[in-house]
Chain A
Amino acid sequence: MEIKLKINGINKEVTIKDGEYLQSALKRLGFLNVRKGCETGSCGLCTVLLNGKPTLSCSTLAVRGIGKEITTLEGESVEVAKFAEVLTDEGADQCGYCSPGFTLTVIAMKRELESPTIDEIKHYLTGNLCRCTGYMGQLRAVKKYMEVK
C-alpha cells in the first residue's frame, strides 16, 4: 500500500506491507536507530515522536502516522547533541542500545513538563528500560539537562 508520511519535516511516499508497524517501516526507510528490543511494547527502545508525543513505534501501525509529524533522532539533532553531552559527561552511557528511544522521550518530556519533581521525571521515563546503567546516572544527566535541582 502507498501512503504519505511526514518524517522529520519531509513528506515521503512510502510503500508499506499490510499491517506493517511504524518501526519496521522506518527501519526500512533507513532510520536505523529506531531500534527494537522487545516486540511487546514494554522496553521503549522503538520510541519516536508522533506530533511531539513519545510513541512506541513497534506497536503503532504505520498507517497511524498518516497526517502526523513523525520525528526520529535525526529530526532532533540539536537537542540530541545537547543531551548527549550531559549524558556522556555523567558516564551514563553504556552499550547505547537504549539511547535513541530514551533520548527522544527525554526531549519530549522537557517540552511537556514544567519544573517537574524527580518522581514525575521517573514516572515519565518509566517505560524506557535500560539493562546497563541502573538508571541513576541517566537521572543525574536528565536533571542537568532539564535544569532541575
Chain B
Amino acid sequence: MGYVGKGIKKIDGMGLIKGASSYTEDIALGHNYLTVKLLRSPHAFARIKNINTTIASKIEGIECILTYKDVTDKRFTLAGQSFPEPSPHDRRILGEYVRYVGDEVAIIAGTDEETVLKAMKLIKVDYEILEPVLDFEKAIDHKSIIHTEKPYTSFNYGNEHMRNIAAQDLLVEGDVEKELAKSDVVIEHSYHTQAQIHGMMENYIAVTYMDFQDRMNIISSTQIPFHVRRHVSKILDIPRSKIKVIKPRVGGGFGGKQTAPMEIYPALVTKVTGKPAKLVYNRKETHTCTTTRHEMKLTVKLGATKDGIINAVDIHGLSNTGAYGEHAWTVFSVVGQKTLPMYRAKARRFYGEVVYTNMTTAGAFRGYGATQGTFALESAVNELAKKLDMDSSVIREKNLVKQGEVNPTLNSFVGEKSIVLDSSTLDECITRGKEMIGWDKKYPMQKISPTKARGVGMAVTMQGSGIHGIDTASATLKLNDDGFYTLLVGVSDMGQGCDTVVAQMAAEILCVPVSKIIVNSTDTDVNPYDPGAYASSGTYVTGNAVIKAANLMVEKIVGGASKILNIPEEDIEFNGESLLLKDGKEISLDEIAYRLVAYEGQNQIITTGTWGGHTSPPPFIAGFAEVEVDLETGKVEMIDYAAVVDCGTVINPNLARIQVEGGVAQGIGLALFEDIKYDAKGKMISDTFMQYKIPSRCDVGEIRVEFKPSFEHTGPFGAKSIGEVVINTSAPAIADAVANATGVRVRTLPITPEKVLMGILNTKHSN
C-alpha cells in the first residue's frame, strides 16, 4: 500500500502547532492543586544538624512541610530502567546529608506560590558543612566520602562507595599490550567531554491527585510512565494497582525525562494530605536539579602499522556521575560497547571508573555514552591519520567493520558469542558524505584570507536499536465497531514522532490510510507495557511488536468473517477496505467490524504483539563538517555539515531527516558552545539560557542530510533506529575540521575561541 517509506505528516503535528491543549500543564487544570516547592541545599556537601519548621508551618495556607525526619529512609534510584535497575540505590526522598547545591532538603506544600515561598524562607536549617569533591579526577580515595552507606546494587558492577566509585567496567577482546608492542605507530591522547544540559523546551512538571477509586493519578511529562509507576509504588508504598500514570504530549526529553527526578514529591504530598498537588520546575531547577550528560575523560591508545592498519584500540575512561549514580554504569559501559566494534582491530579494551562528586547528578542523554566515546575514539583516529600522513577517510576505509563481518564486541557483553553485522552501508555513507562536502577539493584546509581559514573534518559512529535481551514492548490493536482501529502502545512520543511511525507500520499491514489508525500512548492503565522511549527503541522494538499485532489482526478478521459468513477462510481475501468473497461479493470492513462486535458475531477483535530482540542492530552515520576559523580571535563558525545515515529502511523520510538535523545541531552545541560552569563552592552558575548557550538558528550553519538505507533482517520492514546515533559525530568532526584549519587540536569540549586562539598563539611561539 505504501505507507512505510512515505514522509507522512506527524499525526499530532497540526494540533500541536495550532496550540491545542495537550501538554501536562494544559490538561492539568480544574483541580485545586496545592503548590509544591522544594527547599534546596545551598551547600555542595553538608550534614543537616538541625532543621526547624515550626514557624513556617504556622503560616496560613501551608498544608504540609516534610523533612528527612518525616519520610521513609528507604533507598532507591530514579533511573528509568527495567527492573532490577542497574543503577545503585543511593537516593532517599530526603536525607540527613545533602550532596550537591540544589539537593532536596524539605518539601513544602500550600495553597499558592506566595504562601509556599514565604514558608520556605522561615525554615531554619543548621548545616555542618563538609568538604566537597568538585574535581572528578580527584574523587577516587578523596578524604570526603560522598556515600558512606553501602548502596544496594542489583548485581556487581564494582560499586566501591567508600572510594567514591559508583561503578566500574571492563570490556576486553584479545591481548592489547601485545598488539600495541607490535605496532609501528602508537598514539595516546586524553579527551575531555563536558557535562551537557538537555535543554528541552518544556521544563519538568508533574501533578498528582486521588481519583474516585482512591487511586493515585500522576500526570507527568515523562519518557518512562511504566517505570514511574514502579518507582512511586516502591518508594511511597502504594500498591501498583493503585497508581495510574498519564503521559500527555511531552515537550522534549532527550533522555532527561528518562530519569524521574520529581514525580515522587507531589505524589508524597498527595499521599500525606489526600489533596491534589502540583510541582513545576523552573528553568533553574531544570538545569541544576535534574540530570546532565556524564562528563568524561577518555584516554585512547591506538596502535597501527605504518600502512594504517589498526592493531589495537585501548580506551580508559573516567566518568562523573555527580551526587547520585543514575545510569552511572550503563552509560559508561555504552562508551565501550559503541566504540570497540567500529574498527577491525585484533585487540581492544575499554575499562575505567565512574565516580561520585558533589555536583549535579548525571543521567541518560541522547547518545548515552556513545557520544562521549565517539568524540574520543574518532578524534584519536583522526590524529592517527595525521601522524601517518594519511587522508582520514582512507584510514577508515581500511579498518571499519563491514556488513557480513563477524565482530566479537558487537554483542556488547563479554563472553557472549560473536555476531555477524547484518546490515551496514557505512562505506557508502562515507563516499557520499565526501562528495557532499567536497572533501577531495577541500581536505584538509583552504586559506580564505590572511586571517581566515576553512577546514573540513569527519567522524563516523554507531548506536544500537533497543537493548537486546532486555527491552520488550507490546502493542495492542483493536478493531472498533465502526471499522477503524485503535493502536495502543506504551512507548512515549516526546516529539520524535514514534506515534506516527508505528501508525505507518500498522497502516502498511492493515492496508488502510494512517488516518484510520488512532494511536493511544497515554496511560499505564490502558496501554500495554513498554519500557519507554529510550535506547533508540521506538521504531525497532515497539515497531516489531506493532507488526506482530497487525499481522494477527488480519488473520483474525478473515477468521472472524469466515465464521459469521460460514465460508472457508481460503475463499476470503482481505484488502484492507473490504473482504472479497470467492463468489464475487464484497463486504466492507465497516460492516464486518460491526457484525463482529454485535450479537451476531460476539467477537470484538483485539490483538496483541509482544517483541524483544536478541540483537541490537547498529545504525550508522558518517558526519562531515566544514568550519571557518578566524585566526585572530579563534572563533569557529559552522559553514556546512553533511550527514549520511544508515538506519536500515527509512520508515518516514521527513521525520527521520528532522531527527538527523536536530541531533546534529545538538551535537554542534556540544562541540562549540554548551558548557556548565560551577563557582568555587560548587554552585552551578550556568543555570539559565542566558549563561548556558544552546545553538540558535544563526549558529548551526547549513546541515544537509541524506540516507543510504540498508536492510536489517530483524528490523520492522528492515528498519533500525535513528534517534540517538545522529548526535555523535558533530563534536569529533568539528574538532577535526578546526584542527585541519588551524593545526590546533582541541581535546577538551567545548571548542571555545579561547582554546583555539591559545593554541594558535602557542604554536606561533614555539615556531
Contact, CB under 8 Å: B662 / A132:
yes
Instruction: Flag the segment in A49-57, A62-70, A108-116, A119-127 that touches B.
Output: A119-127
Q: Tell which of B251, B283, B661 touches A137, judged by Cβ atoms closer than 8 Å.
A: B661
Q: Which residue of A lies closest to B11 (CB)?
A: A88
Q: Tell which of B9, B13, B694 touches A96, judged by Cβ atoms closer than 8 Å.
A: B13
Q: Tell which of A77, A97, A126 touches B252, judged by Cβ atoms closer than 8 Å.
A: A97
Chain B CB within 8 A of A47 CB: no
Chain B CB within 8 A of A148 CB: no
Q: Tell which of B201, B495, B658, B700 touches A37, judged by Cβ atoms closer than 8 Å.
A: B201
Name the A residues within 8 Å of B496 (CB-CB): 94
Q: Which residue of B lies closest to A135 (CB)?
A: B697
Contact, CB under 8 Å: A135 / B665:
yes
Within 8 A of A (CB), among B664-716: 664-666, 688-690, 694, 696-698, 700, 702-703, 705
Q: How far is the CB of B711 from chain A (nearest CB, A)?
A: 23
Number of contact residues on B: which range applies? 35 or more
Name the A residues within 8 Å of B283 (CB-CB): 37-40
Complex Cα distance A91/B495, Å? 11
Q: Tell which of A42, A80, A125 touches B17, judged by Cβ atoms closer than 8 Å.
A: A80
Q: Tell which of A42, A80, A89 touches B690, judged by Cβ atoms closer than 8 Å.
A: A42
Name the A residues within 8 Å of B294 (CB-CB): none
Known: A42-B689, A84-B18, A100-B19. A134 touches B200 (CB 8 A): no
Within 8 A of A (CB), among B228-251: 249-251
Q: How far is the CB of A107 from chain B (nearest CB, A)?
A: 12
Q: Tell which of A32, A33, A97, A130 touches B202, judged by Cβ atoms closer than 8 Å.
A: A97
> A130-149: contact bitstring with B at CB < 8 Å (1 yes, 0 no)?
11111111110000000000
Contact, CB under 8 Å: B494 / A138:
no
Q: How far is the CB of A28 from chain B (nearest CB, A)?
A: 11
Question: Number of contacts between A and B (CB, 8 Å)?
Answer: 166
Report which residue of B19, B21, B694 has the largest number of chain A beta carbons within 10 angstroms of its beta carbon.
Answer: B19
Contact, CB under 8 Å: B202 / A95:
yes
Tell me how many residues of A have a C-beta within 8 Å of chain B. Answer: 50
Chain A CB within 8 A of B422 CB: no
Chain B CB within 8 A of A81 CB: yes
Q: How far is the CB of B688 from chain A (nearest CB, A)?
A: 5
Known: A73-B19, A133-B662, A134-B664. A88 touches B14 (CB 8 A): yes
Contact, CB under 8 Å: A96 / B12:
yes
Complex Cα distance A131/B26, Å? 21
Contact, CB under 8 Å: A134 / B703:
yes
Known: A84-B14, A95-B250, A97-B23. A37 touches B657 (CB 8 A): no
Contact, CB under 8 Å: A37 / B202:
yes
Complex Cα distance A96/B283, Å? 18
Name the B residues within 8 Å of A94 (CB-CB): 252, 495-497, 658, 662
Contact, CB under 8 Å: A32 / B495:
no
Chain B CB within 8 A of A20 CB: no
Name the A residues within 8 Å of B317 (CB-CB): none
Name the B residues within 8 Å of A26 (CB-CB): none
Chain B CB within 8 A of A83 CB: yes
Q: How far is the CB of B567 from chain A (nearest CB, A)?
A: 43
Chain A CB within 8 A of B25 CB: yes
Contact, CB under 8 Å: B17 / A37:
no
Contact, CB under 8 Å: A95 / B697:
no
Contact, CB under 8 Å: B13 / A84:
yes
Name the B residues within 8 Å of A122 (CB-CB): 697-698
Q: Tell which of B7, B12, B652, B689 touches A38, judged by Cβ atoms closer than 8 Å.
A: B689
Known: A97-B23, A99-B17. A45 touches B201 (CB 8 A): yes
Q: How far is the CB of B731 from chain A (nearest CB, A)?
A: 15
Contact, CB under 8 Å: B689 / A134:
no
Q: Which residue of B lies closest to A45 (CB)?
A: B201
Known: A74-B19, A96-B249, A99-B19. A136 touches B666 (CB 8 A): no
Contact, CB under 8 Å: B17 / A132:
no
Contact, CB under 8 Å: A95 / B252:
yes
Name the A residues within 8 Å of B16 (CB-CB): 93, 95-96, 99
Complex Cα distance A37/B692, Å? 14
Contact, CB under 8 Å: A134 / B13:
no
Chain A CB within 8 A of B763 CB: no
Contact, CB under 8 Å: B201 / A129:
yes
Chain A CB within 8 A of B199 CB: yes
Name the A residues within 8 Å of B201 (CB-CB): 35, 37, 43, 45, 95, 97-98, 129-132
Chain B CB within 8 A of A71 CB: no
Known: A125-B697, A131-B694, A135-B665. A92 touches B688 (CB 8 A): no
Contact, CB under 8 Å: A93 / B13:
yes
Name the B residues within 8 Å of A125 (CB-CB): 697
Q: Tell which of A32, A73, A90 touches B18, judged by Cβ atoms closer than 8 Å.
A: A73
A83-B17, A96-B12 given; name 4 further pairs at CB < 8 Å: A37-B201, A131-B666, A134-B661, A134-B662
List residues of chain A with CB under 8 Å of any chain B CB: 32-33, 35, 37-40, 42-43, 45, 73-74, 77, 80-81, 83-85, 87-100, 103, 122-123, 125-139
Closest 4 A/B residue pairs (Cβ): A91-B654, A95-B495, A96-B16, A97-B251
- 28 pairs, CB–CB < 8 Å, chain A vs chain B: A37-B201, A37-B689, A40-B689, A40-B690, A77-B18, A81-B18, A84-B14, A85-B14, A89-B654, A91-B7, A91-B497, A91-B652, A93-B10, A94-B497, A94-B658, A95-B250, A95-B252, A96-B12, A96-B22, A97-B251, A126-B696, A129-B201, A131-B200, A131-B666, A132-B662, A134-B662, A135-B665, A135-B700
